[in-house]
Amino acid sequence: MLFASFTPEGIELKQDINIGIATAVEEGLLVPVIRNADQKSLTEIAFSRIDNTERAKNGKLTVADLEGGTFTVSNLGMFAVDYFTAIINPPEAAILAVGRINERLTLSEGEVKSVPFFSLRLTLDHRVVDGAQGARFLEKVKALIEDPYLLLL
């Protein structure tokens, strides 16, 4: 249900997974879309993001590049922001806010270790998706971040 929207007719499930990446430019904020992200490799997604960011900064995006998103990711880590709550990009039902990477001391097997960490905050349209579904999504994202080899399975 994360890839859905609320319409006057009710909940509309989206067929495609098109990920918007919030991108800061001189004029404000743009959200170029990576289409059919679920059908792309990580390398293809990375190159699409780089291309979209460059075209956004150079004013080369088209209206089509900004339409059709089904979920947005917003990262303010480069601005030294640890935590923030992102506002949903209508008509999407969810947005993921990513904070900067920090180091944290943890105790593991009797040893103190410094490990990287960052915050993920998910904002949901509760007319479309409930908190439990959002929590399961975050659990999956956390598992993939902690063990990226799972992405290859």
Mapping DSSP onto H, E and C, the string for 35-71 reads CCHHHCCHHHHHHHHHHHHHHHHCCCCCHHHHCCCCE
| CB 84 within 8 Å of CB 55 | no
What gap in Å lies between CA 144 and CA 48, rounded to an integer?
A: 20
Distant-in-sequence, close-in-space partners of 127: CB < 8 Å, separation ≥ 6? 6, 11
Q: Which of 15, 11, 2, 13 is nearest to 89 (CA)?
A: 2
Tell how many helices (H) and how many strands (E) occur in the chain. 3, 11
Question: Which residues, in sequence order, are bridge partners of residue 116?
Answer: 103
- Active site residue: 104, 126, 127, 142, which one? 126
- Among this protein's residues, is 126 annotated catalytic? yes
The one-letter code for the residue type at 70 is: T
Q: Would you name the residues annotated as active-site residues?
A: 126
